A and B are shown apart, each in its own frame.
Chain A
Amino acid sequence: KAGVTQTPRYLIKTRGQQVTLSCSPISGHRSVSWYQQTPGQGLQFLFEYFSETQRNKGNFPGRFSGRQFSNSRSEMNVSTLELGDSALYLCASSLASGVAYEQYFGPGTRLTVT
């Protein structure tokens, strides 16, 4: 089986712009979670989608949003980018939500905001 894929792998944006990141889960997986990784704040949970519904949300401003499609692919969007949004964004997929299924991480998207 193919692993979790994230596109693009690298992205450079300007402050004030918006950006959309994509995550394709492992085939058959219905849960996708997003994390932000920065040197200062570490790994922080953004949100989780399961069967096209947001299951859980971390403590991030409303500029961060996401969605999941019927094929389980997920996108996250950040509007009005700030310098502090520069980070590695990781997504993880799992068969289901809230039970003891392993999560598999993608390689991440490195976002740089200038």
Chain B
Amino acid sequence: DGGITQSPKYLFRKEGQNVTLSCEQNLNHDAMYWYRQDPGQGLRLIYYSQIVNDFQKGDIAEGYSVSREKKESFPLTVTSAQKNPTAFYLCASSIVSGWGGTEAFFGQGTRLTVV
């Protein structure tokens, strides 16, 4: 089945540690996105990529890093510089089009908790 796979579903991190969240898609989409979700805040954009080996910062990129070495994969690293990393993280993908009416498809999310 085509879709987006995020792993792990739950992740616990000690303060001061870096952790990497995985996102893989087999939809052949060029664009991939990372969003952070906090209660009552909606989804806020962390990073996005429209092509391999290129990515752009979103609204809340501080304390995060990404890579895009393969079309199918867009891992997110939460670094120790992120002051409040406990949140639900969602990965999404979409086709790249000159027309804005294309929707994004979402993974099932990773819930990160700092302990």
A joins B in a complex? no
Chain B contact residues, CB within 8 Å of chain A: none
Chain A contact residues, CB within 8 Å of chain B: none
